[in-house]
Chain A
Amino acid sequence: MTTLQDTKKSSGNGGSAGNGGKDGRAISLSSRQWLGPVIALVLVIIVNGIISPAFFNVKVVDGHLYGSLVDIVHRGASTALVAVGMAIVIGTRGIDLSVGSVIAISGAVMAVLIRDTSLSPAIIILAALGAGILCGLWNGILVAFLDIQPIIATLILMVAGRGIAQMITDGQIVTFHGAFFEAIGSGYLVGVPWRVIIAAIVIAGLWAVMRKTALGLFVEAVGGNARASRLAGIDARGIKVLAYVISGFCSAVAGIIIAADIRGADANNAGLWLELDAILAVVVGGASLMGGRFYLGLTVIGVLIIQALGTGILLSGLPSQYTLIVKAAVVMIVLLVQAPKARQMMGNFWRRRNRNGQ
């Protein structure tokens, strides 16, 4: 049963003073926002299980968790980081196409420093993160201060950034060794992959900063109506810059993880087309590209849906040429099921049927 319509008792609509607001528990759409993505995720996972019964096997190999389910989280960690940064940018009514290039740049900085210097890992990581933050700063300034439209502003770095990364690595995959970095890529802490822990920490930290301070509100206000926010005393430009900086930072962390994973910086291919998956995840998680609202938790679920889908396709043994079609179809279905308009239509349809049935 859909209960989209009116769940309150018919006490009028609070037209007279003092009546509204007290009864704040009326179920609004937003409180059920999580339903669609979670159902979609469960469905994809169930289908995976049907395709490949081994899918649900999780066992302990060499003292760490091992299995397809673990793989989804493991592989999804870097995409989730990028997507969460993307969600915040989208919250300000922006978009960041440069994340893939930022991943390449931070990975390249890290690999080259490891290869050519004997700096301590902490400094190398800081340098890689710094590179990502600089990239974000550049995007933010273009968008907020030069008023360049976000798609184009970040397209610039998307194109040039990969060139910069290639320049740093000389167009070769720079391989490196070192226990510390290998652990980041494929090490475990009490059976849980380090990269998952890192991603979880960063995402939880961002969630706290966004939701436990007023920053999240500011981001959403700026995305909803930048002019009005400015007039309400919010530094709209600053908030925009900050959003891109956060996105740059998240991409840099992802870049570090990705490079550590293959023990090399692949400037040519690292993070290629990842921006599309990240944006997809944000939208599958229920946010609007028109800004004004963002959901970090649902974005992560969106990432897991996409990752589970990819893993499912690989497990199914379906020839590679079908991958894109399946992906397109599933994304389409998930979006349609989630779209409020479509739900509304289905709701109407059900009500009509029930009415006729009675």
Chain B
Amino acid sequence: MVNERYYPLLATLAVCALLYGYGMFEYRAFSDTYVLGNLLTDNAFLIITAIGMTFVILSGGIDLSVGSMIAFVGVLMAELVTGFGMHPLLAVLISLVFGGLFGAFMGFIIAKFDIQPFIITLAGMFFLRGMCFLINLDSVPITHDFVSAFAGFRIPLPGRGWLSASAMVMLASVLIGLVIAHYTRFGRNVYAIGGDRQSAQLLGIPVERTLIQVYTLSGVFSALAGVVFAFYTASAYPLAAVGVELDAIAAVVIGGTLLTGGMGFVAGTFFGGIIMGVIQTLIAFDGSLNSWWTKIVIGGLLFGFIVLQRLITRSFSGMRAGAS
């Protein structure tokens, strides 16, 4: 029998399958791999962000700066590539380093001064968005052969669909996230800190250092998401990705991670992100919802899934109890 700690993950999987199944049942075109490929591509940056966010949430914190980071990295890349004529790969490197440093800075303040992550990263969110405006007020294209090659790269799937470069970066990130979470001491320490920070400290875990690393990691992942987003649209826009932090948090939570920290799964986050994407796709396929009903339905579905997940988790436990 599966360990009960995996029930939330199973519940997420079940919900995801249910939703996808509904789509295939309702719309013929939904079973096409084109839709699957799009899901992986269109939600790549969200899922990458959410993986970094998973670590932050597992540690008991939160990172609201990720959306602004995505926008800022885009603007920065545009400036470097189009403005300075730098090769995109070098710009990517600079962006990732910047993301890491900025995350580390926030982590430093959070860990050393014991200030709430919600507020520090909120300030970080304001700051990065403000920096976007300083560099550039307009939306600008990022023109470079490498960028178009990245955007155009695709591995065909059976059917009409394909796997894009963004999707592959995302899948690789999920793998890396899985390994970090489950096969490194750092990963386990993050779980421990989220479970009980004081105890973790007393057990000899370097809490401050680990927290700084967590925000660094989130910074790098959100910067990577920014890179993917910039390549995906081959452009930069200072108002891009507004509110993505909330989507990422929702993806993490739908994926079965507890916001209080200490329990959760990177794999769950992947499916959580996919669920968010499927909701969007279903609404677009349906095409009959007006603006306000769209919002109401998204909220309602969010509610429905969380309740459903609860029920599934509970019935798993019930099954186990019955068996033993």
Q: Mark A residues whose CB is within 8 Å of B.
A: 97, 142, 146-149, 151-152, 155-167, 171, 276, 279-280, 283, 288-290, 320-329, 331-332, 335-336, 339-342
Chain A residues whose CB sits within 8 angstroms of the CB of B123 once the complex forms: 328, 331-332, 335
The answer for the CA separation of A279 and B125 in the assembled complex, in Å, is 14
Chain B 114-143 per-residue mask, 1 if CB under 8 angstroms from chain A, else 0: 111011101110110111011001000000
* Contact A167–B126 (Cβ < 8 Å): no
Question: For this complex, into which size category does the number of interface residues on chain B fall?
Answer: 35 or more
The answer for the CA separation of A186 and B60 in the assembled complex, in Å, is 44
* Contact B259–A152 (Cβ < 8 Å): yes
Q: Which residue of B112, B113, B120, B253 has the most chain A CB atoms within 10 A of its CB atom?
A: B113
The answer for the CA separation of A342 and B307 in the assembled complex, in Å, is 42
* Contact A160–B299 (Cβ < 8 Å): yes
CB A27 to nearest CB in B, in angstroms, measures: 21
The answer for the CA separation of A155 and B302 in the assembled complex, in Å, is 9
The answer for the CA separation of A139 and B123 in the assembled complex, in Å, is 26
Given contacts A155-B246, A166-B292, A283-B118, 8 further A-B contacts (CB under 8 A): A146-B307, A149-B258, A151-B253, A152-B302, A167-B296, A289-B119, A332-B123, A340-B114
Chain B residues whose CB sits within 8 angstroms of the CB of A332 once the complex forms: 109, 120, 123
Secondary structure call for the A interface: helix
The answer for the CA separation of A142 and B310 in the assembled complex, in Å, is 12
Chain B minimum-CB-distance residue to A283: B119
Chain B residues whose CB sits within 8 angstroms of the CB of A276 once the complex forms: 122
* Contact A156–B130 (Cβ < 8 Å): no
Which residues of chain B from 237 to 260 have any CB-CB distance to chain A below 8 Å in the complex? 246, 249-250, 253, 258-260
CB B132 to nearest CB in A, in angstroms, measures: 9
Q: Mark B residues whose CB is within 8 Å of A.
A: 62, 109, 112-116, 118-120, 122-124, 126-127, 129-131, 133-134, 137, 246, 249-250, 253, 258-260, 291-296, 298-300, 302-303, 306-307, 310
How many A-B contacts at CB < 8 Å in the complex? 128
* Contact A159–B299 (Cβ < 8 Å): yes
Q: Contact partner of B298 among A149, A160, A165, A336, CB < 8 A?
A: A160
Chain B residues whose CB sits within 8 angstroms of the CB of A325 once the complex forms: 126-127, 130-131, 134
- Contacts A335-B119, A340-B114 known; A171 to B292 CB distance under 8 Å? yes
The answer for the CA separation of A321 and B130 in the assembled complex, in Å, is 6
- Contacts A156-B299, A159-B302 known; A151 to B249 CB distance under 8 Å? yes
Residue pairs across A and B with Cβ atoms less than 8 A apart, 25 shown, are: A149-B258, A149-B259, A152-B249, A152-B250, A152-B253, A155-B302, A156-B299, A156-B303, A159-B295, A159-B302, A163-B294, A167-B293, A171-B292, A289-B119, A321-B134, A322-B134, A324-B126, A324-B127, A324-B130, A327-B130, A331-B119, A335-B115, A335-B120, A339-B113, A341-B112
- Contacts A155-B250, A160-B295 known; A339 to B114 CB distance under 8 Å? yes
The answer for the CA separation of A342 and B108 in the assembled complex, in Å, is 12
CB B119 to nearest CB in A, in angstroms, measures: 5
The answer for the CA separation of A152 and B258 in the assembled complex, in Å, is 11
* Contact A288–B116 (Cβ < 8 Å): yes
Chain B residues whose CB sits within 8 angstroms of the CB of A328 once the complex forms: 123-124, 126-127, 130
* Contact A171–B130 (Cβ < 8 Å): no
* Contact A341–B113 (Cβ < 8 Å): yes
* Contact A163–B116 (Cβ < 8 Å): no
The answer for the CA separation of A292 and B303 in the assembled complex, in Å, is 27
